[in-house]
Amino acid sequence: MKTRIGSVAFVVTLCFIPNLIFAQSKFKYVGAKACMPCHLTPKSGAAYKIWQGNAHSKAFATLATPAAQEIAKKKGIADPQKDEKCMKCHDTAFGVAAAQLAPTFKAGEGVGCEVCHGPGSEYKAMQVMKDIDTGKIKGETVGLVKPDEKACVKCHNAESPTFKAFNFAEASKKIAHPTPKQ
């Protein structure tokens, strides 16, 4: 009886593996520059300019500063711009399979749009974004994520050697980029 149940469970698992692989690779990271054309002007909320002006866009570069090098040395990290302990929070898509990176994606952009909003390959087109805005399609069906506190505290937590108390309501105001109503 146990063998039969085990065999059935194995077959069922095999049936779901392709779906799991597909789900993981369906949406690809395209990089912040792919978002820029539509999110540069005040009409679109100037999200790209707001991102460029905050610490998220500089997160990768920050790891090369003397202060970061000193912290890394104390933690036994040779190069914070290569170490998983640092990179998982300082660069978009670090550790993601190459199959999930579009040709437009460039590592080293810092904490880009897709860290908060999900891989953009399926929602980056202007028509898709219009369809999301009008309710014709749901953003999540094309990989668009609405960020929340849980997304932020994956990095803004006590595991960070420079952690300071994190207030989601206050922090989200600093990076807010709503699209103005027409």
Q: Where are the domains of the chain?
A: 27-175
pTM of the complete model: 0.82
Give whole-number Cα distances, 37 to 13, 47, 70, 125, in Å: 42, 10, 38, 10
List own/partner pairs for 154-157 with CB under 8 A and 24 or more apart. Answer: 154/89, 155/88, 155/89, 155/111
CA distance 77 to 110: 19
Task: Give the total residue count for the chain.
Answer: 182
**Range in 15-24, 84-93, 158-167 the model is least confident about:** 15-24
> What's the average model confidence in pLDDT over 17-28?
54
Structure confidence at residue 166 (pLDDT): 95
> Does 30 score more than 80 pLDDT?
yes
Task: Please name the fold of domain 27-175.
Answer: Flavocytochrome C3; Chain A, domain 2 (1.10.1130)
List own/partner pairs for 52-55 with CB under 8 A and 24 or more apart. Answer: 54/174, 54/175
CA distance 148 to 16: 29
In single-letter form, the type of residue at position 131 comes to D
Structure confidence at residue 23 (pLDDT): 41
CA distance 24 to 160: 27
Structure confidence at residue 182 (pLDDT): 62
CA distance 147 to 166: 16
Dig out the tokens for 93 from the structure. Answer: 């898509």
The 10s digit of each residue's pLDDT in 48-74 is 999 999 999 999 999 999 999 999 999
Q: What percent of the chain has pLDDT over 70?
A: 86
The 10s digit of each residue's pLDDT in 123-143 is 999 999 999 999 999 999 999
Structure confidence at residue 19 (pLDDT): 35
> What's the average model confidence in pLDDT over 6-29?
49
